[in-house]
């Protein structure tokens, strides 16, 4: 459905709009459940008052200081992972083209482990993870570049880099002392436990900058999915668009990993789930971001509440969900 406003023409997909609305409602429901339930139940009216700074002191402490930062961080990190995965799956035209498989998450892990071994603070670990992701992406891009970066080369080089970096990470863990190894191991699992506003704000700032870039790239990326030659014929500057898209995807993945650790499979599963929900022929960026936000926050809520009193890191649950999804995906596409 095309809508014309003055000189502008906007194409609207009713099913995609409906799916987006349903995902927003699901995210709202998960947020309310995460804020209200737990060892201390907070009624919804008290939540609203606490968010505006006019609630009971206990509700303001629990909601404003403990639960809200964790939930907001989960929503933002999930959206960043989902958007990053959508970009790379669109570029590579491959459902396995996500930061988890092409080395960027492993590179962020390497950067974080190096800082842990060096005795750095939590913020320094986050900075090391972002730096590791960016450096790895630069190396993968340089190795895959042969007059351009075809999607299959990016995937192949990335898988090799991922395997190498996983070996480096294991080596670093074996050489660290037991306390540093335990700290690094806990961070590598991926968790939203203890996350505060100082974790959420950098992710929100990164999304504020990178989401407009992704909106600008959405149409060229759709054309790139038809192949480089077809995209060039329609006027797309293939390599500049691909370079900007890779940079945006890497920064999104790096910032998300810096905030919550290398939470696996969200970047892989969210774009594919969004594609199936919207029945889109290609990867949809907005639906992927919303799906990632709901998936990560819902998994964190399940890890906290369904398994109480034991609380698992969210990375354990997303790995279980993602592993199951990957097996189903491979079974469906075994031909």
pLDDT of residue 117: 86
Q: How confident is the model over 98-142, as pLDDT tens digits?
A: 888 888 999 999 999 999 888 878 788 889 999 999 999 999 988
Q: Give the DSSP H/E element, type plus range, for residue 172.
A: helix 151-175
Mean residue pLDDT of the chain comes to 85
Do residues 70 and 192 touch, judged by C-beta distance below 8 A? yes
**Does the structure show a pLDDT above 60 at 7?**
no
b/e code 304-317 from CB counts within 10 Å (16+ = b): beeeeeeebbbbbb
Question: In the predicted model, is pLDDT for residue 333 greater than 80?
Answer: no
Calculate the alpha carbon distances from 101 to 63, 86, 291, 301 in Å. 36, 13, 19, 26
pLDDT of residue 308: 60
pLDDT in tens, 266-318: 998 899 889 888 888 777 889 999 999 999 999 999 888 876 666 788 888 88
Q: Are 256 and 274 in contact (CB under 8 A)?
A: no
Cis amide bond preceding 265, omega within 30: no
Q: Would the pLDDT of 145 be above 80? A: yes
331 burial (CB, 10 Å; 0-12 / 13-18 / 19+) is exposed
Structural domains of the chain, with CATH: 15-330 (1.10.3470.10)
Name every residue whose Cβ is closer than 8 Å to that of residue 48 and which is 6 or more positions away in sequence: 55
Q: What is the pLDDT of residues 230-275, one digit of tens each?
A: 888 888 888 888 889 999 999 999 999 999 989 988 998 899 889 8
Exposed/middle/buried for residue 61 (C-beta within 10 Å: 0-12, 13-18, 19+): middle
pLDDT in tens, 171-196: 998 888 888 888 888 888 888 888 88
Q: What is the pLDDT of residue 12?
A: 63
- The token pair at 3 is 């809508």
pLDDT average, residue stretch 140-167: 86
Query: How far, in whole angstroms, is CA 194 from its chain's centroid?
Result: 19
Ramachandran sector of residue 38 (left: φ over 0; alpha: ψ -120 to 50; beta: rest)? left
**DSSP strand E in the chain: where?**
2-5, 8-11
At 78, the pLDDT band (50, 70, 90 cuts) reads: very high
pLDDT the model gives residue 10 = 54
Unique residue bearing structure tokens 């990190």: 77
- The percent of residues above 90 in pLDDT, for the chain, comes to 32
């Amino acid at each position: 459905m095309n809508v014309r406003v003055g000189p502008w023409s906007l194409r609207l997909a009713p099913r995609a709009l409906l799916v987006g609305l349903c995902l927003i409602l699901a995210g709202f429901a998960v947020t309310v459940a995460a804020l209200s339930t737990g060892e201390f139940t907070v009624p919804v009216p008290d939540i609203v008052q606490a968010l505006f700074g006019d609630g009971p002191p206990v509700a303001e402490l629990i909601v404003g200081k403990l639960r809200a930062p964790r939930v907001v961080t989960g929503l933002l990190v999930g959206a960043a992972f989902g958007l990053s995965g959508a970009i790379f799956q669109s570029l590579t035209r491959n459902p396995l083209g996500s930061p988890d498989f092409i080395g960027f998450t492993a590179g962020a892990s390497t950067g974080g482990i190096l800082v842990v071994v060096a005795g750095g603070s939590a913020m320094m670990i986050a900075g090391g993870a972002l730096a590791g992701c960016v450096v790895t992406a630069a190396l993968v891009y340089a190795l895959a570049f042969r007059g351009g970066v075809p999607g299959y080369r990016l995937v192949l080089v990335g898988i090799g880099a991922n395997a190498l970096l996983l070996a480096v990470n294991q080596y670093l863990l074996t050489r660290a002392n037991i306390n540093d190894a335990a700290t690094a191991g806990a961070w590598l699992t991926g968790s939203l436990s203890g996350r505060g506003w100082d974790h959420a704000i950098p992710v929100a700032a990164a999304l504020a900058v990178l989401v407009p870039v992704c909106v600008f790239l959405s149409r060229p990326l759709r054309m790139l999915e038809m192949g480089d030659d077809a995209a060039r014929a329609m006027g797309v500057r293939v390599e500049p668009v691909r370079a900007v898209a890779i940079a945006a995807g890497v920064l999104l993945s790096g910032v998300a990993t810096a905030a919550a650790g290398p939470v696996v499979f969200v970047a892989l599963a969210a774009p594919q789930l969004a594609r199936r929900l919207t029945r889109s022929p290609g990867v949809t960026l907005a639906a992927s971001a919303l799906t990632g936000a709901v998936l990560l926050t819902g998994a964190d809520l399940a890890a906290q509440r369904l398994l109480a009193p034991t609380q698992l890191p969210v990375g354990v649950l997303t790995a279980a969900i993602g592993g199951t999804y990957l097996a189903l995906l491979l079974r469906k596409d075994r031909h």
